[in-house]
Amino acid sequence: AAQAGGDEKEVVRKYFNTAGFDRWKRIYGETDDVNSVQLDIREGHAQTVEKVLQMVKKDGSSEGITVCDAGCGTGSLSIPLAMEGAVVYASDISSSMVEEAEKKTNELMGASCVGTTLVKPRFETKDLESLDGKYHTVACLDVLIHYPQDKAGRMIAHLASLAEKRLILSFAPKTLYYSVLKRIGELFPGPSKATRAYLHSEEDVEAALREAGWVVRRRDMTATKFYFSRLLEAVPAVSQ
Ligand code: SAM
């Protein structure tokens, strides 16, 4: 398995259990207590999730397929996937995020969901490095921002080893434009600076995938004012 990020990982864990939890729970939620930057990020992230759901739909029904949502946050992807019939295993390094995801699911199941196919996702507090098992699809959205490039390559190989048919990754792309913006501090405004943020070049991510025997089949990009995320869907090279 890939090696843990050491002290930096502890900083990330602590952040997403404290101030980061409060911030991201609101960004990923539906309440009005967000500022304009957070609202922009909410909208951008919702677009990424919608694109992933569309990617999955393109290959037919989600009914019964196993999905590992690695770094699931508050369940923004896990919950809609489960509502479409996928058997979801969702984990995150932050117990607060996982509890929030579980709470949201329970509220949904207790409310309007009678009669839907929702199979409750299995939620667990676990870091990416300790994930094991095999899943039809592995998704890891907006988590690689916490990984420097050398660790990201190992993490991508690890995630690929858990996936049988499909690996969906989203990450902040390292382009000249975004690198300059990041440097002058126009991106990641405010408290999100509490953790370091790493951009990744698409070439590097693709090279890591190739090395693991995977090829990119679909790609997309979401860019709002403060949110930007490159989305790649990879499949085993042999199936091409
Ligand atoms: N994937 C979710 C989504 O798109 O809604 C959450 C994205 S959020 C920006 C990043 C998440 O990654 C946080 O919930 C954080 O706790 C989690 N995370 C960061 N490092 C992690 C690690 N090493 N293992 C597991 N989760 C991690």
Structure tokens of 204?
A: 């590097």
For the chain, what is the mean pLDDT? 90
Q: State yes or no: pLDDT of 4 exceeds 60.
A: no
* In the chain, % of residues over pLDDT 90: 78
Query: pLDDT for 206-230, tens place per residue?
Result: 999 999 999 999 999 999 998 999 9
In the DSSP assignment, the letter for residue 68 is: E
Q: How far is the CA of 77 from the centre of ligand 1 (A)?
A: 12
pLDDT at residue 17, rounded to an integer? 97
Query: pLDDT for 115-164, tens place per residue?
Result: 566 789 999 999 999 999 999 999 999 999 999 888 999 999 999 999 99
Query: Coil, strand, or helix at residue 227?
Result: coil
pLDDT band at 177 (very low <50, low <70, confident <90, very high): confident
Cα separation, 52 vs 212, in Å, equals: 22
Q: Which residues line ligand 1 (CB under 6 A)?
A: 9, 12, 16, 24, 28, 71-73, 76-77, 92-94, 97, 127-128, 141-143, 146
* In the chain, % of residues over pLDDT 70: 90
In the DSSP assignment, the letter for residue 73 is: T
Q: How far is the CA of 240 from the centre of ligand 1 (A)?
A: 30
Q: Given the CA of residue 128, which atom of ligand 1 is nearest to it?
A: 24
Q: How far is the CA of 71 from the centre of ligand 1 (A)?
A: 4
Q: Given the CA of residue 139, which atom of ligand 1 is nearest to it?
A: 1
pLDDT at residue 184, rounded to an integer? 67
CB 31 within 8 A of CB 104: no
Q: Given the CA of residue 9, which atom of ligand 1 is nearest to it?
A: 23
Q: How far is the CA of 184 from the centre of ligand 1 (A)?
A: 25
User: Residue 10 — φ and ψ, nearest 5°?
Assistant: -65, -35
Query: pLDDT for 82-120, tens place per residue?
Result: 999 999 999 999 999 999 999 999 998 877 655 566 789
pLDDT at residue 149, rounded to an integer? 84
